[in-house]
Amino acid sequence: MRIKKIFLSLGLAFLLCLTAAKVQAADSDIQKVIDETYVQPDYVLGYSLSSDQRDQTLALLGYDSATDTEVKTLTTSAYAKIMNVADDSSLQLYSSVKIQKLGSSETLSVRIVTPENITKVTEDMYRNAAVTLGIEHAEITVAAPIAVTGESALAGIYYSLEENGADVSDESKELAQEELNALSDINAENEGKDGYDADKLNVALADIKTAVADSGSDLTKDDVRKIVEDTLDNYGLTSSMTNEQITLIVNFAFNLSNAKIINNSSFKAALNSLKDSIVNNAGSTFDNINLNFDASSAIESGKGFFANIWQQIVNFFQQFIG
């Protein structure tokens, strides 16, 4: 009996070590860096801007020459390193960003001050991707002096964070970029289509990410597809989206389910704030829609990550105690 207790105690200690390691691995220093380092707002300008365009863009971003000193330039070589692509000197980088810290009680804010020139990405798409990156509360401003897609602005955010000491993992960057690309492509392809609404898609994606975080890293691809399809159906989006578009979201959500960010204690809180903000600003768009829909209920809840690990530990030690 004493031996049995010893083995079970060892098993419990092993489980606790796994838990601690998992939580520690999930901790992100991105928000901490913003809170501690961004005493002044940080500006990142696209490399392709002319001198006049730089001045114009800084003015659009609210630059104050009397107090602001943190101005960086995202070069093509820096872009290539950040995005893990080949350096192409012909690459055109015009979209620029300002990142400013906010109090912990405030929510993540994104403002595009030149909406006529950011043709493919909306404010809420940037916000969704920023939450996936690990940003919880900050004010991000985006501008471009000419018409561009706006997709490279996210690289400017990565660059700012890394230059200020944040450890932005390749996993986080790839996920945020995958999400932004999927959302912007779907939005561009469905613009004006009956039954489609960008606000609904952004809220649906926030719910999908929350459900993935609730369900843990043991989700199968079929589990994730069930979450995605049920959520899109709840928001009335299924009929306006193609199978290929739905698969883009499934692939992203499945990759997210294996990422460290889902174990960050602030991840779901940031998603809830994002969702509430979109809904509150959308007027009657969400009337007669169940905003308390729980996409994770679509998944059988009996065997979560820790339950499986615990059962494996019990099975392992039982062989020693008969």
Please tell me the distance from the alpha carbon of residue 128 to that of residue 261, in angstroms, as a whole number: 13
pTM: 0.82
- As a whole number of angstroms, the distance between CA 96 and CA 280 comes to 28
- Taking only the tens place, the pLDDT of each residue in 82-130 is 888 888 888 999 999 999 999 988 889 999 999 999 999 999 999 999 9
Residue 182: predicted pLDDT:
95
**Percentage of the chain exceeding pLDDT 90:** 72
At residue 268, the pLDDT reads 93
What is the per-residue pLDDT across 38-94, written as a single tens digit (0 to 9) for each? 999 999 999 999 999 999 999 999 999 999 988 999 999 999 988 888 888 889 999
Specify if 171 maps to a domain: yes
Residue 9 burial (CB count, 10 A): 11
Of 144, 26, 32, 53, residue with least CA distance to 95 = 144
- Scanning the structure block, which residue is given the tokens 């070069």? 75
Note whether 231 and 207 are within 8 A (CB): yes
Is 283 a member of any domain? yes
Does 6 score more than 50 pLDDT?
no
Q: Has residue 3 been placed in a domain? A: no
Q: Which of 3-17, 27-41, 159-173, 240-254 is predicted with the least confidence, judged by mean pLDDT?
A: 3-17
Q: DSSP letters along 91-115, please?
A: -----EEEEEE--TTSPPEEEES-T
Nearest to 294 by CA among 251, 230, 201, 221: 230
DSSP code at position 322: -
Range list of H helices, 169-240: 170-190, 198-215, 221-234
Are 102 and 139 in contact, with CB atoms under 8 Å apart?
yes
Q: What is the pLDDT of residue 11?
A: 45
Tell me, yes or no, whether 142 lies in a domain. Answer: yes
Beta bridge partners of 43: 71, 98
The strand order across the sheet containing 71-74 reads 71-74, 42-46, 96-101, 138-143, 109-112
Decide if 18 is inside a domain. Answer: no
pLDDT tens string 281-302: 999 999 999 999 887 886 754 4
Our count of domains for the chain comes to 1
- 17 pLDDT exceeds 50? no
Q: Cα–Cα distance between 308 and 208 in angstroms, integer?
A: 23
For residue 320, is it within any domain? no
Residue 5 lies in a domain: no
**Which has more pLDDT, 181 or 218?**
181
- What percentage of the chain's residues is helix, strand, coil (to nearest 5)? 55, 10, 35
**CA atoms of 59 and 53, how far apart (whole Å):** 10
Range of the domain at 116: 30-309
Confirm whether 318 is domain-assigned: no
